């Protein structure tokens, strides 16, 4: 039996729960390691000073924007590859992979230009303390100028995930994260004869991990045996393929980039209260990654399964993946919510939190975590929309969650109540509204298309 037939049988015929777990667990594990890196990185930075921690917190929106373009484009490629494989159009699947790699490289060049010349004004919008501005500028400049490792590694990871191969992508992420964690103290504090680079050292460790991951990705893709081969022999640029990639990828990019706009807006709102307020907000995003990253890993396993069975017009398996994905996501989010409710002081204590940070942070964590269950359902449903080529639905939901509802409500609460603890309630309010919209779009999609899919060969 060929590798292609095995892949077809795996996503089109294997029992659903074992299939989801086999494809999602490697990604979930690697995403947990990524979350650990986020915590370790901030832990080491917090040992320098609270100003250093504040600088890295302010830099998060730019890093989020970088990830938005990398992951968003890769989601479009993953969706297109998995649908083409489900339709038996393998040459077009390979072409999509090559196009995705070129798009990733081109985007990294844009970020390199930004990192070299335009980072300082960003920090000056939120902070007047020149020491914080300087450290933030140093950190994000390095991350942007050397972002090619991030873009190339993510694109190759997603290409393999689209074929149902989840083991190598896990290895790629593990290699990058472990390298990152190992090099953080070396470059930050100057161990083993290296100069102590402070916050800049954290950025150097970050891009070093990404570049090492990229190198491993390239070696595996070049010398390994895979269903999708990336070859430039006879390659011709197809604007139709680019259009198909961005039909899903552009909404996914905007969905992720909305987080940047949201972070900037929230930093602006919270900076009216104190530096500690927006620092708490940054720490929350570090901590919640332990909960959300496994769910995002789950969706990495769900996306090719859903896309393949949609392409194969198998309604039963498509909806089965959706239902079981929702249950798994709810279990993860429930566990995370309980930890945030019961242990907020211990979580913030990881970063040597001051009394002021604890005063603001403890109620913040306990309030925001009440939205986790709603978010679980919204994330899995958005993955369904992406897998069937309805990225616009996911875009609308993300706009509601992170911008249209969240920011205005946060501003109103800050203005009317005048207490930073009230601002955190904007998160559960936004998630409730966006979940209602997700249900509406799902029912619309089901009535217009999904219920008409052929259901032959269901198992």
Rounded to a whole number of angstroms, the CA Rg of the chain reads: 22
CA distance 258 to 434: 14
261 to each of 208, 257, 267, 272, how far by Cα in Å? 27, 7, 10, 17
Task: Identify the pLDDT of residue 244.
Answer: 86
CA distance 225 to 106: 27
DSSP letters, 267-295, are HHHHTTT-HHHHHHHHHHHHHHHHHHHHH
* CB distance 433 to 294 below 8 Å: no
Average pLDDT of adjacent 10-residue blocks, the chain of 459 residues:
47 83 83 74 83 84 86 86 76 83 93 91 84 90 94 88 76 87 92 89 93 92 75 79 86 77 87 86 86 88 86 85 94 96 92 86 94 93 86 83 90 90 94 93 88 58
Task: Identify the pLDDT of residue 363.
Answer: 94
> Strand ranges (DSSP E) for 211-341?
none
| Alpha helix stretches (DSSP H) within 343-390 | 344-349, 355-368, 372-387
* CB distance 304 to 26 below 8 Å: no
C-alpha 371: how far from chain center: 18
Task: Identify the pLDDT of residue 264.
Answer: 85
Task: Identify the pLDDT of residue 9.
Answer: 53
Q: Which two tokens stand for residue 71?
A: 């992951």
CA distance 410 to 408: 5
The 10 Å Cβ neighbour count of residue 82 is 27
**CA nearest to 439, candidates 273, 294, 322:** 322
Angle 196-201-204 from CA coordinates, rounded to 5°: 140
Task: Identify the pLDDT of residue 64.
Answer: 81
Task: Identify the pLDDT of residue 388.
Answer: 84
Task: Identify the pLDDT of residue 457.
Answer: 45
CA distance 308 to 188: 45
CA distance 403 to 432: 14
Residue that has been written with the tokens 């430039």 in this structure: 232
Task: Identify the pLDDT of residue 267.
Answer: 86
3-class SS of residue 164: coil
Tens of pLDDT, residue by residue over 157-177, are 888 877 777 778 888 888 988
Task: Identify the pLDDT of residue 448.
Answer: 85
Tens of pLDDT, residue by residue over 317-361, are 888 999 999 999 999 999 999 999 999 999 998 887 788 889 999
222 to each of 172, 214, 219, how far by Cα in Å? 14, 12, 5
Sorted by where each begins, the domain ranges of the chain are: 15-452
Task: Identify the pLDDT of residue 254.
Answer: 78
Task: Identify the pLDDT of residue 2.
Answer: 42
């Amino acid at each position: 039996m060929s590798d292609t037939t095995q892949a077809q049988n795996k996503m089109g015929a294997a029992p659903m729960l074992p299939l989801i777990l086999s494809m999602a667990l490697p990604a979930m594990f690697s995403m947990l390691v990524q979350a650990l890196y986020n915590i370790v990185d901030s832990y080491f930075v917090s040992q320098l000073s609270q100003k250093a921690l504040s600088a890295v917190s302010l830099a998060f929106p730019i890093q989020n924007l970088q990830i938005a373009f990398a992951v968003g484009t890769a989601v479009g490629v993953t969706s297109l590859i998995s649908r083409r494989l489900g339709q038996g159009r393998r040459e077009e699947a390979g072409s999509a992979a090559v196009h995705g790699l070129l798009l990733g490289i081109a985007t990294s060049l844009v970020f390199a230009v930004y990192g070299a010349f335009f980072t300082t004004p960003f920090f000056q919008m939120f902070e007047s303390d020149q020491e914080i501005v300087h450290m933030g500028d140093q950190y994000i400049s390095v991350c942007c100028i050397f972002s090619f490792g991030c873009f190339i590694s993510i694109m190759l990871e997603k290409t393999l995930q689209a074929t149902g191969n989840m083991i190598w992508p896990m290895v790629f992420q593990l290699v990058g994260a472990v390298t990152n964690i190992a090099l953080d103290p070396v470059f930050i504090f100057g161990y083993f004869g290296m100069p102590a680079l402070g916050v800049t050292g954290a950025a150097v460790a970050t891009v070093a991990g990404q570049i090492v991951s990229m190198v491993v990705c390239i070696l595996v893709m070049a010398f390994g045996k895979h269903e999708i081969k990336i070859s430039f022999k006879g390659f011709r640029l197809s604007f139709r393929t680019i259009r198909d990639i961005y039909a899903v990828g552009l909404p996914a990019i905007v969905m992720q980039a909305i987080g940047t706009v949201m972070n900037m807006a929230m930093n602006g709102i919270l900076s009216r209260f104190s530096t500690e307020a927006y620092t708490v907000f940054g720490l929350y995003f570090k901590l919640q990654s332990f909960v959300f990253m496994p769910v995002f890993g789950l969706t990495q396993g769900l996306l090719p399964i859903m896309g393949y069975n949609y392409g194969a017009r198998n309604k039963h398996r498509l909806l089965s993946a959706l239902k079981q994905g929702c249950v798994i996501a709810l279990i993860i989010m429930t566990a995370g919510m309980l930890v945030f409710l019961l242990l907020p002081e211990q979580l913030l204590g990881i970063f040597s939190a001051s009394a002021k940070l604890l005063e603001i942070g403890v109620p913040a964590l306990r309030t925001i975590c009440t939205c986790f269950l709603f978010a679980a359902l919204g994330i899995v449903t958005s993955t369904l929309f992406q897998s069937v080529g309805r990225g616009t639905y996911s875009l609308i939901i993300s706009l509601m969650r992170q911008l249209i509802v969240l920011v205005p409500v946060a501003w109103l609460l800050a203005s009317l109540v005048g207490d930073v603890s009230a601002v955190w309630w904007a998160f559960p309010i936004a998630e409730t509204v966006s979940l209602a919209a997700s249900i509406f779009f799902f029912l619309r999609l089901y009535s217009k298309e999904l219920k008409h899919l052929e259901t032959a060969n269901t198992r």
